[in-house]
Amino acid sequence: MQDSPLGNLKVLDMSRVLAGPFAGRLLADMGAEVIKIEPPERDITRNWGKQIGGISGFYHQQNAGKKNLCIDLKQPSGIQLLKQLVKKADVLLENFRPGVMQKLGIDWPTLHAINPTLVMVSISGFGQDGPESTRPAYAPIIHAETGSILRQAEKTGGAEKEMSMAFADTNAGLHGLVGLLAALLKRQQTGVGQQVDVSMVDAMLINDEQTNFFLDDVQVQTGASEVWSATGGPIMIAGDFRHIWRVANKQLGVKDTSAAATSLEQKISLRRAAFQNYLQSFNNRADLLDALDSANLAFGGVYNSSEFLKNSATLKHRASIQQVDDRAGGTRPTFQSPYRFSDSVSGLNKGAPHLGEHNRSILQQWLDMDLKEIVSLEEASILQQQIP
């Protein structure tokens, strides 16, 4: 029987919005028991997207597979309850602004003393210490300051605008996950946990192959892939045009109309025009794609997201979109994590939780707490719940 890769891992997820919850969602897909610790005022993403069964689309995607424990951490008894849970946990995820955990009395030195085997992943904009550590940081701020927004505008010839997705958040979440797994491996060797400090700035830069050139004070345009007008709609062809032209000329028979005396600028213009005409010369899209494929050119149709999700053969083959209980008597489509193991079970198996949905079961299972004690916490509003 196949087991989940992280089936014995117990995770407390105190993070909000995207970077931390994204890492927690992936841990849940790989079999970890992930408990989302959510305040009574709720994660703001519960308001983002279509509401089905009292759960928004955004919150559902980033928190599917988790359990939910709603604790009021503004009350000392709430902090004490969290510390009891930390004693039982392997991992704690948090993405508060640096200093918040310390104010709550649950910073790394405190939690490490309570549970020396704990691994804590702390994701922030600019790191846990340093001159900018306490700045509020969201993905658009990181995109702007690291140069991504300006380079995007320069490349497209458009205005400086926010990017099409929260790269800084998802980059930080993924690197947080890598750091966490490394720290867990180290714990196997030493028996001691540690804090993993991940900054969105560092994660953005290490994932941006273009920024590397600025370290040498040069700007290099690598692989200047372009979108071309073609039969059946626009098409992206990857690679520098010099390579594409050699292939088009020698393998696809596109004629070079330039002469020996033609200037370089005019020669490039004529070759580009010839290739453009070739792409538009086909009677149908299938014949065009067959020709490009025969020349081993890398290409892709330019689709909107809805078209791709509906028509991708790869998504269908890999079952990349799963139908999950929508908490309203039906199902809702949800993206599967990208991991496919040869000898382990991994993947989505349930939707996102309601606020405080698992309060009682978590405290009974993790802390052996009796019902009378749990009820007293509910009556004191230390534990709260909101189920439609």
**Which residues are marked as active site?**
169
Instruction: Report how far residue 367's alpha carbon sits from residue 71's, in angstroms, rounded to the nearest whole number.
Output: 15
- And the tokens for 67? 């359990």
CA 136, CA 132: separation in Å to the nearest integer? 9
Phi, psi of 279 (to 5 degrees): -65, -25
CA distance from start to end of the chain: 37
Closest CA relative to residue 264, chosen from 247, 241, 281: 241
Edge to edge, what strands does the sheet with 299-301 contain?
A: 226-228, 235-237, 299-301
Query: What tokens were used for 22?
Result: 């994204």
Spell out the alpha helix ranges (H) of the chain.
Answer: 19-29, 57-63, 76-86, 100-104, 108-114, 139-145, 148-156, 167-190, 200-206, 212-215, 241-250, 264-279, 285-294, 305-311, 313-318, 359-367, 371-379
CB burial of residue 382 (10 Å; 0-12, 13-18, 19+)? buried
